[in-house]
Amino acid sequence: MTHEMQSFILGLAAGAGGYLVVTFWLHPLLKYREIRGQVHSDLIYFANATHANGLNAEMERRMWERVSANRRHSADLLAVFEVLPWWYRKWLACRDRDPRRAAVHLLGLSNTFDHTGATVRVNRVRAALGLPET
C-alpha cells in the first residue's frame, strides 16, 4: 500500500470518526445546554406572570406565553434527553441533575396559576437542572 493510499484511508477514517462524534455526542450536548439556558431565561422573564385574572391584557398575555413556553421546554427536554450520550446521562446523574424530572415540573408549572405553587415548581425545576437561584 502506498503512502498516499494510507494517508487517504487515515484521513477518511478520521473524518468519519469526527462526523460521528459531532453528530451523536456534541450536537445533543449543545442542544441540551441551549434548552437549559432557555428554561433559565424564561423562568426569569415569566417570574411574575403566574395569576393574571383581573389584571391588564399584557399580564394575561404573558401568563399564557409562560404556559406555552413551559410546555414546549418540557417536551424539548424529554426529547433531547433520549439522544444524549450514555456517559453524559451518567455524569448528569452523578451531579444530581435530571432533565426528565425538570420536564415533569415544567409541565406542572404550566398548569399552576397560584404564586405559591409556582414558586415551589420553579425551585424544583432549578434543582433538577442545576440552575442558580436568582
Q: What are 86-108's pLDDT values in tens digits?
A: 999 999 999 999 999 999 999 99
| 10-25 CB burial, b ≥16 within 10 A, e <16 | eeeeeeeeeeeeeeee
Q: What is the pTM of this model?
A: 0.85
53, pLDDT greater than 70: no
59, pLDDT greater than 90: no
CB 67 within 8 A of CB 110: yes
Q: What are 119-132's pLDDT values in tens digits?
A: 899 999 999 999 99
